[in-house]
């Protein structure tokens, strides 16, 4: 491995006094200034990228190395495009060593996009390949257990992710046992060890009774999370027979392991929440189910009781009907037996003879009465004819007398009938006043007059002097 030339002139013995940290930092700064061109142009891939107060802090890497970079806000404002993680870029700047913090970094002044980075391109190609194989399809996902009793947590035993999962599990569902499978979550060989751990868990589920796996780690740089983009880890997740929940890095991070897993969670806490039910919610749900079950049982008991009562009433009614029918059959049999006794048969025949005799008497009596009524009707007709003749003769006689004394006959002899305007007959001259109208009916026609003077005779016979 090549090293920078340092101004180092050690003596021939160990009696040379040691350098202080500040002296070493100064010599490193001097060596960089003399051994690295300024400006220096570097090509690499953006590994991580953060912005604070307009300044850009990022890593520049290739397959073997990584260097810390900073681009101050005054220089960042001149860059045409804000770089993103995975971009291949060409940068220009100065290498500096900051002694107070012992940090060496590249202070970038210019950034040019150079295409897609090697790591990003590899990630994209693997994603496309696995997508075509159907490993990301929703249909390939395995269902999660409703109430798991034992879960394997594949993560680093020293990481904060394990603490979050344990705390969430204790709060939500303490009945579930969490089994730690301690593995490295970054660095060389980490993907192989995680894949081997998943395969070992899956092979021993019958003995361990593990029902699901939580694969998790906390946040980190793109390089730290690269372990979870390896194909062999994706193959192990795909081949597992039990469901796996993956929560890798922060919510904005996406790994191939999360895409292949049966569920993806943004944080370790959320992974535990997806897999473990909430005991408070489940307790409330059980209370509701118990209440509903009690209501259903009570309703079923009530319905069955009512059905039994109806059955009892129906059985009693049926027994009464059958008893009544049997009693009626017995009465009919008794009546038939009594009807067949000799005295009963003789009485029945005597009644039949009496019935025939009665009918004969009725017929004979009817015929006699019919003859009598016919004779009486003939006599009545003769008597009525004689009475009618006598009545007709008397009516004619009386009609002649009536016609002789009737008003029409009197008028025909020269008399008249005088009435007032209302049709009332005037019999006395005192009944009319001067100026009133009177009507005189003659044998032929009627005369209307106006009274000018009237006089009543001493013998009370009215006498009209004059009228118009």
Residue whose tokens read 């000799």: 342
Q: Per-residue pLDDT tens for 196-216? A: 999 999 999 999 999 999 999
Mean pLDDT of the chain: 81
Find the radius of gyration of the CA atoms of the chain: 68
User: Does the pLDDT at position 374 exceed 80?
Assistant: no
List the one residue out of 215, 95, 209, 78 whose CA is nearest residue 148: 209
Q: Per-residue pLDDT tens for 333-351? A: 777 776 666 666 677 777 8
Higher pLDDT, residue 14 or 378: 378
User: Does the pLDDT at position 466 exceed 50?
Assistant: no
User: Does the pLDDT at position 5 exceed 70?
Assistant: no
Higher pLDDT, residue 460 or 316: 316
Structure confidence at residue 11 (pLDDT):
47
Q: Degrees (nearest 5) of the Cα angle 39, 103, 28?
A: 70
Structure confidence at residue 129 (pLDDT):
86
Strand-strand pairing, 263-264 and 244-248? parallel
CA–CA distance, 41 with 61 (Å, rounded to integer): 14
Query: Can you name the residues that pair with 418 across neighbouring β-strands?
Result: 440
If pLDDT is split at 50, 70 and 90, which confidence band does 329 have? confident
Structure confidence at residue 3 (pLDDT):
42
Q: Average pLDDT, stretch 86-113? A: 85
Q: Per-residue pLDDT tens for 215-272? A: 999 877 767 788 888 899 999 999 999 999 999 887 777 888 889 899 999 899 999 9
Q: Per-residue pLDDT tens for 116-172? A: 566 677 778 888 888 888 888 888 899 999 899 999 999 998 888 899 999 999 999
User: Does the pLDDT at position 375 exceed 80?
Assistant: no
Structure confidence at residue 38 (pLDDT):
77
Lowest mean pLDDT among 13-17, 225-229, 380-384: 13-17
Structure confidence at residue 404 (pLDDT):
65
């Amino acid at each position: 491995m090549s090293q920078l030339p340092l101004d180092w002139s050690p003596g021939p013995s160990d009696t040379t006094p040691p350098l202080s940290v500040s002296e070493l930092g100064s010599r490193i700064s001097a060596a960089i200034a003399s051994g690295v061109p300024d400006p220096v142009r570097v090509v690499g891939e953006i590994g991580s990228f953060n912005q604070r107060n307009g300044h850009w802090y990022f890593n520049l890497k290739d397959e073997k190395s990584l260097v810390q970079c900073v681009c101050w806000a005054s220089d960042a404002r001149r860059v045409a495009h804000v770089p993103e993680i995975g971009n291949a870029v060409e940068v220009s700047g100065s290498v500096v060593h900051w002694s107070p913090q012992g940090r060496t970094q590249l202070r970038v002044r210019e950034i040019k996009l150079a295409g897609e980075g090697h790591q990003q391109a590899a990630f994209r190609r693997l994603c496309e390949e696995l997508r075509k194989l159907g490993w990301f399809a929703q249909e390939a996902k395995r269902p999660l257990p409703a109430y798991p009793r034992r879960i394997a947590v594949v993560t680093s035993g020293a990481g904060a992710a394990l603490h979050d999962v344990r705390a969430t599990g204790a709060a939500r569902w303490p009945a579930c046992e969490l089994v730690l499978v301690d593995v490295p979550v970054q660095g060389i060989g980490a993907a192989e060890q995680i894949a081997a751990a998943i395969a070992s868990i899956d092979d021993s589920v019958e003995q361990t009774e593990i029902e699901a796996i939580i694969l998790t780690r906390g946040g980190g740089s793109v390089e730290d999370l690269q372990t979870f983009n390896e194909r062999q880890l994706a193959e192990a997740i795909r081949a597992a027979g039990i469901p796996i929940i993956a929560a890798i890095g922060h919510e904005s991070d996406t790994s191939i392991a999360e895409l292949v897993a049966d569920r993806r969670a943004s944080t370790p806490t959320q992974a535990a929440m997806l897999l473990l039910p909430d005991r408070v919610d489940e307790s409330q749900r059980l209370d509701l189910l118990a209440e509903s079950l009690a209501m259903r049982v009570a309703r079923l008991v009530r319905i069955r009781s009512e059905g039994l009562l109806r059955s009892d009433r129906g059985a009693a009614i049926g027994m009464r009907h059958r008893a009544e029918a049997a009693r009626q059959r017995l009465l009919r049999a008794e009546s038939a037996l009594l009807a067949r006794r000799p005295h009963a048969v003789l009485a029945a025949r005597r009644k039949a003879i009496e019935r025939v005799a009665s009918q004969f008497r009725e017929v004979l009596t009817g015929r006699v009465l019919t003859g009598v009524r016919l004779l009486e009707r003939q006599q009545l007709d003769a008597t009525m004819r004689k009475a009618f003749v006598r009545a007709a003769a008397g009516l004619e006689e009386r009609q002649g007398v009536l016609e002789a004394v009737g008003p029409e006959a009197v008028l025909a002899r020269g008399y008249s009938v005088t009435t007032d305007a209302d049709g009332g007959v005037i019999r006395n001259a005192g009944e009319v006043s001067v100026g009133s109208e009177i009507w005189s009916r003659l044998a032929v026609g009627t005369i209307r007059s106006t009274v000018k003077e009237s006089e009543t005779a001493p013998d009370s016979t009215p006498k009209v002097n004059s009228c118009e």
